[in-house]
Structure 1
Amino acid sequence: MSVTNRTFGQIPALTGLRFFAALMVFFSHYPIPGLNQTLMLLQNSGFSGVTFFFILSGFIITYNYLERFESSPAESTPNYLFARFSRIYPLYAFCILFAWMNSGGAIAIWPYLSATQAWDDNIGLAMGLNSPAWSISVEAFLYIIFPFAIPILKYTGALSSKNKLFIFFTIVIAIQIALALYFSISDKRLLGSIDPSSPHRWLYRDPLNRSLDFLLGIFAAIYYRRFFVESLKTIKKWSCITYISIALILMVMTSTTIYSNAFKWDAAYALPYVTLILSIAISKESKISKFLSTPKIVLLGEASFAFYLIHVMIGGVYLKQATSSLPFTLIHQALFLLIIVSLSIGLHLTIEKPSQKFLRGLTKRKRSPTKYIPLNIETPAQTEQPTQANT
């Protein structure tokens, strides 16, 4: 099947995959004690799920908006930004307000309501109130740069030249490696996360650095939409790449060498996550893709935004028992996880979806007669579900 006559429909497996990325972040905050070093490293490295979300964000937004921003970026930007706002902000603001009121209202709330906290050098502010919310602050910046990214790539010819696209992709990967190498060999590698000059500050939570992940997702989506030629042989190859990508991610997560240097914050995971996302999108009939596409897993993926936002905020419910046996600990944490999953599904169904529907309905009468396919979403913010080509 050629690129020109291939249809681009939904990719529910990517929605399902979001839940497991959120689960990784969960275990990085609530690791099960008493396990061997490999399993402890696997849990502690779960923060890398945030890198997955930023890359997936770039992929899905480009998958849905590529043609629209290629042909008419100025006209498309208002609807696009309002769609992002409608999907992300209501539940985000709800959680921020709850966390602020829980704090007694003594903390300045404006940086959080405006989603600008990630820009602050002070980790107490950047990751304050509800710590996972810093990534939504980064997402807000990524949403803003997207309307500029596609026209620039069009101007450079990267939308019509696979070689140019590959060059841009290689440059971004090289920048990520160079930055990680710099922080790994300099004295800054020893700085703790609270230091404004630390690798945690500049590689993990800095919006500008995270825009590199976002760009990788954009490049992957352009490749998929413009240059990937679908055939049974290539699909089988990409199905194998799915397993290779997962194996590589697990190897990196459990590597003591990676965990002890600045590569862990982003660079070590960027390429494996890109190939995982792309391979899942391509090999829709693989066993992994089919599993991730099952209704229950997709529902968990749809609720992963709420899961991500609340799992730290309600952490007071989970009190670690220092002297408990491993079976007791496993059951205890399983019950806690079940509570968070249940609450996240409830928030998704009662706040996230209805508020999005309401806000999008406000602009329905103002839309042009041209058929508009609504967004179905993103990040740990949420990542919107791919729909038809111009969603």
Structure 2
Amino acid sequence: MLNSLTSLRFFFAFAVFLSHLTFVQTDLKWYNWLKNVVFFEGYVGVGFFFILSGFVLALNYKHKIIDQPHFSYKNFYIARMARIYPLHVLTFAVMIPLVIVQGLFGWDKALLNISLLHTYIPIKDYNFSINNVSWSISTEFFFYLMFPMYVIGLHRYKWLKYVLFIIAIPLLIYFEPFVTGNKDLEKGIYYVNPLVRSLDFIIGILLCDVYQKIKDTKISVAKGTLFEIGALVIFVLFFSFYDEVVRTFRYNIYYWIPMILITLVFALQRGMLSKILQNKPLIYLGEISFGFYMIHMIVIKYGNYFFPEGNDFIKIGAYFILAIMLSIICFEYFEKPLAKKIKTYFSK
């Protein structure tokens, strides 16, 4: 298992959590700088998740799909749905009462959301309806559906990966001026749209091929540590110049290089940083990171609804601790046991 990547999932989920602390009101200049600059770019975490998803799925299933004539697509899809859908339904149900009270409920939004179809509508009120972060599950579900076709297509037609990006990137650059300034289209197309974000996912699939070729290369701990620090430094450098790049591209294209390097270098697990990330508590945080990601926004929204006043910094600590506790409970008593039952029942 690539435990270092599992641990990294939590850190990127935490980045998403930070990006949702927009409710904090303070005169502290240092915090406002963090909120408006560092926290604001928290959506890079989602880009990492999408690339990592393609990478891990390719690592586990690519050769099975290509080499096994009787590969069970049914079991593959059941396993994928068992992983994401139960928690989506639970968080959907928990969020509904607050959405109704706030006057934000709509049957059309609810039906699209529960069906994981809401990211196909380039309108903010649909994309981020009910449990806001569920948009990424809708997009991820599309990846799961397309994964076998992506793998087979990229395997049979080697030229496809070149053509795909030669066409896609210029198209995204060309259409950028037409959507920038329109918040619905900016996020609806460049941030949440499953077809556009498939590029992140496909990068992960292709990155797996690179990993397979170099994974047995002998690399010393010192050199591995240097590579890991270097990947993080490159990420920081890209982050430092974010203001020079339009936000539309920062949703995906701009951060591809650092995300690729981080994923590949930490997958090799050769340096001291990856050794630290293989610590059991960090691995466990990575395992519950999906729950943390799905739950944290619910905690923030209910917390702010019931406690609109009070010290916002105390709220941050309370929300974080509560989200972690609920994530652990969901992981141990809901996600794991239910996923096991679903796979056992439907895979017969």
Give TM-score, length-normalised by structure 2. 0.87
User: Which amino acid counterpart does residue 153 of structure 1 have in structure 2?
Assistant: L
Q: 1:180 to 1:28 in 2, by over 3 A?
A: farther
Shift of 1:121: 2.1
Verify: 1:244 aligned to 2:223, yes or no: no
Q: Residues 113 and 329 (structure 1 numbering): CA distance in 2 closer, same or farther, change over 3 Å?
A: closer
1:76 aligns with 2:62: no
Deviations 1:308-336 (A, max 9, x none): 11111221354499998xxx654441222
Matches within 5 A, 1:98-137: 98-104=94-100, 106-108=105-107, 109-137=110-138
Deviation at 1:154, TM superposition (A): 2.1
Match of 1:351 among 329, 334, 338: 334
Distance in 2 (alpha carbons) for counterparts of 1:229 and 1:256: 32
The percent of aligned pairs where both chains have the same amino acid is 27
SS in 2 for 1:141: helix
The superposition leaves residues 278-315 of structure 1 with CA deviations (integer Å, 9 ceiling, x where unpaired) of 11011x24222122221111111111111111111221
Give the conservation status (yes or no) of the 8 Å contact 1:183–1:199: no
Residue 51 of structure 2 corresponds to 55
CA distance in 2, matches of 1:236, 1:70: 37
Aligned counterpart in structure 2 of residue 293 of structure 1, from 256, 278, 285: 278
Distance 1:287 1:103, change over 3 A: same
Q: Which runs of 5+ in 1 are unaligned?
A: 1-9, 159-163, 367-391
Aligned length in residues: 337
Out of 96-105 and 302-311, give the one that drifted further. 96-105
CA-atom RMSD, angstroms?
A: 2.7
- Structure 1 position 98, deviation (Å): 1.9
The residue number in structure 1 matching 2:207 is 220
Is residue 87–residue 356 contact of structure 1 (8 Å, CA) maintained in 2?
yes
Alpha-carbon distance change, 338 to 179 in structure 1, aligned in 2, over 3 angstroms = farther
Preserved contact between residue 239 and residue 279 of structure 1 (Cα < 8 Å)? no
- Alpha carbons of structure 1 residues 309 and 231: separation in structure 2 relative to 1, 3 Å: same
CA contact (8 A) 1:317 1:336 kept: no
- Higher relative contact order, structure no. (Cα contacts within 8 Å, ≥ 6 residues apart): 1
Q: Could you say which residue in structure 2 is the equivalent of 1:341?
A: 324
For 2:226 and 2:154, the matched residues in 1 are separated by: 30
**Cα deviation code 1:123-162 (max 9, x no counterpart):** 2112101110011000110001111122222212x4xxxx
Residue of structure 2 in register with 1:178 after alignment: 170
Give the counterpart letter for 1:72 in structure 2. Q
Q: TM-score scaled to structure 1, two decimals?
A: 0.78
Contact 2:235–2:258 (8 Å) recurs in 1 = yes
1:240-389 matches, cutoff 5 A: 240-258=226-244, 260-282=246-268, 284-319=269-304, 329-363=312-346, 366=348
Moved more, 307-316 or 131-140: 307-316
How far apart, in 1, do the equivalents of 2:250 and 2:339 lie?
Answer: 35
Once residues 118 and 239 of structure 1 are traced to their aligned partners in structure 2, the CA distance between those partners, rounded to angstroms, is 39
